[in-house]
Amino acid sequence: MLVETSAHGSDLAARPRVSGGRVHDDAPDTAADFARLSALPEGPERDAVRDELTKAWLPMAHRIAGRFRNRGESLEDLRQVAALGLVKAIDRFEPGRGAFESYAVPTITGEIKRHFRDRMWALRVPRRVQELRNKVRFARRDLAETAAGSTPSVAEIAAHTGLTEEEVNAGLEALESFSTLSLDAEMSSSDDGFSLADTIGSCDEAYDVVVDREAAKEGLRRLPERERAILYMRFFEDMTQSRIADRLGISQMHVSRIISRCCARVRDEALDRGAEPGR
């Protein structure tokens, strides 16, 4: 649900409320309007009052959204999330239980935090690990301030937070999970222009060769010795058919027929064995 982000034109927004001796420009006095809203049944009149209340309190929602700027999300999207939290607060507020501002601020803030937790992580991280991340992040900041900017160790963070070193390491890893790098990103430790994609392995075609060789071994063992020797010279010593024929004192055509016949035999035996149940 998108909420109109303009707060102008509302009579309610022009009535600032005094609370604790301080005037809040974005906290209008809407107690009478909330009382009216709670008394109205569902219908156009209630919707109109609800819309007016939303417009009146929208500046406060925008102010809360502004606290979370520069965290990887656009301000406009944060304002929309805050507006959604405001609408939830208006719908759930009970006038007899206190001031609306006291109820709305934590409701809107919680909605924004849930947005960051559920929508902004590049990798899906469990809730517990996210909490560890926050504890570790705050602890690193506090310790860096007291240690003249030096980076605290895992043991120091664990002592400061009461976490185990394993939990601290999990939180540190989660710090790197909020955003991801492009595969085209250059490696900072490389001067040769290597990208992150260059560090990722690829399929090794040699594995297929291993499978084929194992499948052919038994058929090759059953071949006569001369046929095995011809295949060895052709495929392992890379000899031409003419050289094999000269070495054995036979014609090149005969060598060609032997190679074709032996290869077909070994291939057929390997395929037949592979088709047997359990293989």
pLDDT of residue 23: 44
| 109 shares its domain with 16 | yes
Nearest partner of 82 among 98, 68, 103, judged by Cα: 68
Percent of the chain exceeding pLDDT 70 equals 78
Q: How far out from the chain centre does Cα 172 lie?
A: 16
Is residue 279 a part of any domain in this protein?
no
| 187 shares its domain with 169 | yes
Q: Which residues contact 178 (CB under 8 A, 6 or more apart)?
A: 72, 120, 121, 122
| 184 shares its domain with 257 | no
Three-point CA angle 269, 274, 275, nearest 5°: 100
Residue 82, token pair as written in the block: 């805050």
| Mean pLDDT taken over the chain | 80
pLDDT of residue 14: 39
Number of domains in the chain: 3
Query: Global pTM?
Result: 0.45
pLDDT of residue 47: 92
Is residue 268 a part of any domain in this protein?
yes
| 68 shares its domain with 19 | yes
pLDDT of residue 192: 65
Is residue 4 a part of any domain in this protein?
no
**CB crowding 153-189: b at 16 or more within 10 Å, else e:** ebebbbebbebeeebbbbbbebeeebeeeeeeeeeee
Which structural domain, as residue segments, surrounds residue 245?
206-274
pLDDT of residue 148: 67
pLDDT of residue 229: 93
Nearest partner of 266 among 209, 238, 228, judged by Cα: 228
pLDDT of residue 152: 85
Is residue 72 a part of any domain in this protein?
yes
Q: Considering 90, 119, 148, which residue would you say is the last residue of a domain? A: 119
| 97 shares its domain with 131 | no
Residues of the chain with pLDDT under 70: 1-25, 72, 120-125, 147-149, 176-182, 187-193, 273-279
